Structure 1
Amino acid sequence: MKFLLVLCVVSAGLLGGCATAELRGSGDLGVVIEREAGSVLIVNTTRIAVLSRITELGDLSHASVVFSRDQRYAYVFGRDGGLSKIDLLQDKLEKRIVQAGNSIGGAISQDGRWIAVSNYTPGGVKIFAADTLEQIADIPASYGEGLLSKVVGLADASDQRFVFSLFDADQIWVANLHNPQAPQIQKFSQIGKQPYDALLTPDGRYYLAGLFGETGLAKLDLWQPEAGVNRVLPDYGAHEEKLPVYKMPHLQGWTASGDWLFVPAVGQHEVLVIDKHTWQLLKRIPVAGQPVFVTARPDGRQVWVNFALPDNQLVQVIDVKDLSVSKTLQPGKAVLHMEFSPRGETVWLAIRDDNRVAVYDTETLSEIGQLPADKPSGIFFSARANQLGL
């Protein structure tokens, strides 16, 4: 009884009263983007439940999210340049600023102190204090007299670094934030035409930028950046007809399984399997359409793939053991995003045109739950706080 009384008092002090307080673990939470409404749902990933809705977050048509290292706060990056800090434990918007005219995403530093935002307009990266959202530094993506590049593929790396690509300048930059007020920038030029997105391997060693203007990928070894940027699969698809690209593939995510990388092919109905030791193409896996997200289950046994129009009602599951599609699912109209629970027993699918989120058991590949959501897109769980590059 004494323990319950103390718990009630503590709860009252933190959340405003024992009768209304809901104790929750931050590691059990996540957010779902409601893109057209400019809102996010705070969800419980174990109970498959919506806890609250946070509104007035601006243009979330291309929103992404990172989490504080204690998993209490979610930082939402909006397309309109908005940066919002949400308290997941108190269901409230802590602060929102508009830091640019057109933003494409962001990252949080290794120590959790700094938030970086990549911008299209004006082109560059801005750094903010995670606690106050005060601007600390501005890194214009200058590549010529009066020219600023759109910035894509921003990822947090070890040793207090951010890595990002310049779409218009064909460059990769590494920003060292040991002195956040004056970041040290290392620049790599002529990496390939029009890098459009990038991934960081789970061990944090390799930064891979996909190229839209030519075939292949650009690879930077962050353990030895002095070796420069090397090309991976430079001849892939060079002599094949490319289909119209209805939606750009997304590379950022857990697209690694053991020694293999799984990469969506641009303009092809294929997932590419790359040997991480030799950086050679191991296999081309035919899939149902143009892949957008190619996401590995946390244990690496499965890779789930969703697609651009006209095949975005489908999801395919690749069995990594056999490197082949083992199941084709049709969850609903316009599957935009997928997120695995931290240990991978479930996967959550944002089904935009059905206004719902579907939850699938990854062993039986059957739907076990769903939640209503207004035009859902991105799904992000707080376990990302402990993963590099996410």
Structure 2
Amino acid sequence: MIRRIVSCSLLALLPMAAMADPAADYADYCASCHGEDRLGGTGPALIPETLGRVRDVDRIIAEGRVSTQMAGFAGDLSPERIAALVGYLKTPLATLPDWGADQITASRSMNPDYRPADAPVFSGDPMNITLVVETGDHHVSVLDGDTFQVLDRFATPFAVHGGPKFSPDGRFVYIMSRDGWVQKYDIWSLSEVGRTRAALNSRNIAISPDGKWLAVANYLPASLTILDSRDLSPVKMIEVIARDKTPSRVSAVYQAPARDSFILALKDAPEIWEIATDPEAGPFYDGFVHNYQSGAEEALGAEKGLFARRRIVIDEPVDDFFFSPDYRELIGANRNGDKGVVVNLDVGRIIAELPLPGLPHLGSGITWERDGRRVMATPHLGEGVLSVIDMQDWSLVGQIETPGPGFFLRSHANSPYLWADVFFGPNKDQMLVIDKQSLQIVKALKPFPGQTFAHAEFTRDGSHVLVSLWEDEGAVVVYDAKTLQEVKRLPMRKPSGKYNVWNKITFEDGTSH
């Protein structure tokens, strides 16, 4: 007994760091979100390649990260154990897995039971289908936008991210997960077509204007993966390397339909890339090159052909951005910055700066006509305000004060209102209905006190609005868009984003792109 007491006393005298087991702490506190292999899951990969530019990792582990799902663990882990865990995360993996065309092809799995239908197997309007992503158990519900009947509910890859993308005819939808899986689903047949893993850690996907190509923006490897939309086979792996020869992750990729191209922003370099999706169209003709600012190592716009690349050099990286309706301008912001920038994609340079402090969430921005002028609005992740910007002279029209920071905006050409959630803070249970002309809050909907009520989506004709009770035992609540009265509740497992086919493929006014 005495020997045991002495041993325990000696252990108590050892430094806490010496007793830390960072591998065990990682397994207990990190693996469920970031993957057992540290290569990402619902959260990003935690390896030196992705942590090199992340500041204060120890503070993030202790306190969490603002405006993300990252919780703080100061109550569970001592500073010494956190320090040991940071060292563990910054230790390179013994081998960094390759992930190229061979691995993508090997991962590809097509549904042997899939049979394409000649017409929709349901009676509703296929253009008024709304997909509801249910993150509680990783499913998607297929909702009839007229009857609000659930037509199908299918399993998705783990941790869907970035918003599904529809083929131009609205028949197929492509869904991506944080760990790089891309799933194809046939809405007409209500059946999965197949899936493939395009990368190990991905941000979002885009579909080309002609529907032929899928672009997958990746953190790991630092690349843009091009897939054939028909069968999800790999077509091209574009290694993303900045002008200074350093690799860069891709923040996001979007289609630019008016330009026949993909637009992507580099996470770790002050560059925007444009990738041609049609060799005979877009801003890649020789006669257009003289409009670009050059002087870089490559003449901007000099490349031609399918998947040709054009660089646009800017002052600092942007990792959230928005487009004007004609896709001539890109409005971007850095997550750590206090302003936005307007990049004219035709001339390839910044033409204006916007006063947008408080982490503007431009990816959720929307536009509409106000007093004969086109304006855009964006929520801010760091403060309770919506900024409204005039898109002709890029002046600040005004700011709408809200009860807390929001995440998503939605409207419709047939609605006088925009709908804005209050995603963060004690007022997360409110959905704000705002007049698009007066910029005044008309009503604050609060059907579930204390619970997150977020992300609105309109039906095809704008007559109804769907909002998520963003809880595990949640629901989608249907409102009459004119009377603002509740029409129906549909139980769901932590419903998050909702995506109407028509609104997305037509780039409906009031829909984020």
Return the alpha-carbon distance in structure 1 between the equivalents of residues 322 and 127 of structure 2.
24
Q: Is the 8 A contact 2:166 2:174 kept in 1?
A: yes
Whether 2:366 is the aligned partner of 1:254: answer yes
**Secondary structure in structure 2 of the residue aligned to 1:148:** coil
Return the alpha-carbon distance in structure 1 between the equivalents of residues 134 and 121 of structure 2.
26
Higher relative contact order (CA 8 A, sep 6+): 1
Of the structure 1 ranges 65-74 and 288-297, higher mean CA displacement relative to structure 2 is found in 288-297
Whether 2:461 is the aligned partner of 1:343: answer yes
CA shift, 1:74, in A, is 0.8
Of the structure 1 ranges 270-279 and 362-371, higher mean CA displacement relative to structure 2 is found in 362-371
Provide closer, same or farther for how the CA distance between residues 227 and 250 of structure 1 changes in structure 2, counting only shifts above 3 A: closer
Partner AA of 1:282 in structure 2: V
- Number of residue pairs the alignment of both structures matches: 363
So what's the TM-score if we normalise by structure 2?
Answer: 0.66
Find 1:175's aligned residue among 248, 254, 275.
275
CA shift, 1:156, in A, is 3.1
More strand by share: 1
- Give unmatched runs, 5+ long, in structure 2: 1-114, 280-303
Match of 2:485 in 1: 366
Provide closer, same or farther for how the CA distance between residues 261 and 253 of structure 1 changes in structure 2, counting only shifts above 3 A: closer
CA shift, 1:297, in A, is 2.4
- The CA deviation string for residues 254-299 of structure 1, in whole angstroms up to 9 with x for no partner, is 3444511111234221111111111011111111111211222233
- The CA deviation string for residues 287-328 of structure 1, in whole angstroms up to 9 with x for no partner, is 111121122223362111112322321111110121121111
Whether 2:328 is the aligned partner of 1:205: answer yes
Return the alpha-carbon distance in structure 1 between the equivalents of residues 248 and 463 of structure 2.
44
Return the alpha-carbon distance in structure 2 between the equivalents of residues 106 and 331 of structure 1.
34
Whether 2:249 is the aligned partner of 1:156: answer no
Match of 2:378 in 1: 263
Q: Is the 8 A contact 2:364 2:379 kept in 1?
A: no
Whether 2:225 is the aligned partner of 1:126: answer yes
Match of 2:66 in 1: none
Q: Is the 8 A contact 1:154 1:198 kept in 2?
A: no
Aligned 1:76-95 pairs, distance under 5 A: 76-95=175-194
- The CA deviation string for residues 4-29 of structure 1, in whole angstroms up to 9 with x for no partner, is xxxxxxxxx9759x9x9534432121
**Secondary structure in structure 2 of the residue aligned to 1:158:** helix
Match of 2:313 in 1: 189
Return the alpha-carbon distance in structure 1 between the equivalents of residues 379 and 213 of structure 2.
30
Match of 1:307 in 2: 422
Provide closer, same or farther for how the CA distance between residues 146 and 14 of structure 1 changes in structure 2, counting only shifts above 3 A: closer
So what's the TM-score if we normalise by structure 1?
Answer: 0.85
Q: CA RMSD in A?
A: 2.6
Q: Is the 8 A contact 2:365 2:376 kept in 1?
A: no
Q: Is the 8 A contact 2:262 2:276 kept in 1?
A: yes
- The CA deviation string for residues 73-115 of structure 1, in whole angstroms up to 9 with x for no partner, is 1111111111110011211110111111111211111111111
Partner AA of 1:275 in structure 2: D
More helix by share: 2
CA shift, 1:252, in A, is 4.0
- Give unmatched runs, 5+ long, in structure 1: 1-12
Q: Is the 8 A contact 1:250 1:293 kept in 2?
A: no
Which has the greater radius of gyration? 2
CA shift, 1:203, in A, is 3.2
